Amino acid sequence: MANVDTVLLISAGDQGDRMQQHRNVIDTAKKSGVKNIAYTSRAMRNRETLAHQLMEEHFLTEDYIKKSGLNYTIFRNTLYMDVLPIFVGKNVFEAGIFQPAGDGKVAFALRKEMGEAIANVLSNEDCQNKTYKFTNNEAYSFYDIAKALTTLSGKEVKYNPVNISTFQERMRLTGIPKPMLQKVVEFNTDIENGQEDEITNDLENKLGRKPTTLREGLKTLFEL
């Protein structure tokens, strides 16, 4: 970090002690004379009621940055639209969508567009202790996802909202590791509870155009 004015901290993976990894970066930036730090956090409605405890570490990192005395910019990114092929599975056009997310919605946006917006902010603005929430202009349920995939593929895709125990039993048969299954359940619980459906214009404003819609994104992601 020698002779660096601004550091962008991309949140670490969930292997090991990622909070310590984040603190290491922030502490080193301060010791090295870095003036500004930016961080890729998550756009969740209420940190007090999160089911997915890994998400709380984003807010703890935000707290640590704010206490560091560095000028900061926080980018709270929505759930990547890019993860939908993983969420719905390879056999979605044969088996439909099977998730315990109820009627919950997510303001899904493409990862590359959030990355572009982050680059625009850091290239053109000073870090002024601001927090941006990068979301799409609309929030989408798995019913919306099923409808879009049906239209794009010409094959009927149905969304089957199930309870958690039914979902866990079905997923265990696939051999998914228990810790991974727990994370998937927590993601879906937060979606059902409305943690992921907040909408802002920050992403559109910093892109200079409207974000890619669900239908447009799914067409690319599923090569339809």
Q: How many other β-carbons are positioned within 10 Å of the β-carbon of residue 63? A: 11
Whether 52 and 186 have beta carbons less than 8 Å apart is answered as yes
Q: What digits encode the pLDDT tens for the residues 17-67?
A: 999 999 999 999 999 999 999 999 999 999 999 998 889 999 999 999 999
Say whether pLDDT at 188 is over 90.
yes
Q: What is the pLDDT of residue 89?
A: 86
| pLDDT more than 90, % of the chain | 88
Task: Compute the distance between CA of residue 129 and CA of residue 186 in angstroms, rounded to an integer.
Answer: 30
Average pLDDT of the residues in 102-117: 98
Whether 141 and 150 have beta carbons less than 8 Å apart is answered as no
Task: Compute the distance between CA of residue 77 and CA of residue 92 in angstroms, rounded to an integer.
Answer: 26
Sign of the four-CA dihedral 202, 12, 64, 128: negative
Task: Compute the distance between CA of residue 92 and CA of residue 74 in angstroms, rounded to an integer.
Answer: 35
- Identify the CATH homologous superfamily for domain 6-221: NAD(P)-binding Rossmann-like Domain (3.40.50.720)
Whether 98 and 162 have beta carbons less than 8 Å apart is answered as yes
Report the chain's mean pLDDT, rounded to a whole number.
95
Q: What is the pLDDT of residue 180?
A: 85
Whether 93 and 153 have beta carbons less than 8 Å apart is answered as yes
Q: What digits encode the pLDDT tens for the residues 118-161?
A: 999 999 999 999 999 999 999 999 999 999 999 999 999 999 99
Q: What is the pLDDT of residue 53?
A: 81
Say what the pTM is: 0.94
Task: Compute the distance between CA of residue 103 and CA of residue 87 in angstroms, rounded to an integer.
Answer: 16
Task: Compute the distance between CA of residue 223 and CA of residue 221 in angstroms, rounded to an integer.
Answer: 6
In terms of average pLDDT, the best of 48-57, 167-176, 195-204 is 195-204
Token digits of residue 52: 């997915």
Q: What is the pLDDT of residue 71?
A: 98
**Residue type for 18, please?**
R
Q: For residue 216, which of 115, 100, 138 has the smallest C-alpha distance?
A: 138
Say whether pLDDT at 16 is over 90.
no
Residue 90's alpha-carbon distances to 140, 150, 161, in angstroms, are 20, 15, 18
Tell me the pLDDT band of 14, cut-offs 50, 70 and 90: confident
- Exposure class string for 174-197: b at 16+ Cβ within 10 A, else e: eeeeeeeeebbbbbbbbbbbbbbb
Q: What is the pLDDT of residue 148?
A: 98
Q: What is the pLDDT of residue 11?
A: 95
Q: Where does 35-124 show beta strands of DSSP type E? A: 36-42, 71-77, 97-99, 105-106
Say whether pLDDT at 202 is over 90.
yes
Average pLDDT of the residues in 173-183: 86
Q: What is the pLDDT of residue 15?
A: 76
Q: What is the pLDDT of residue 173?
A: 85
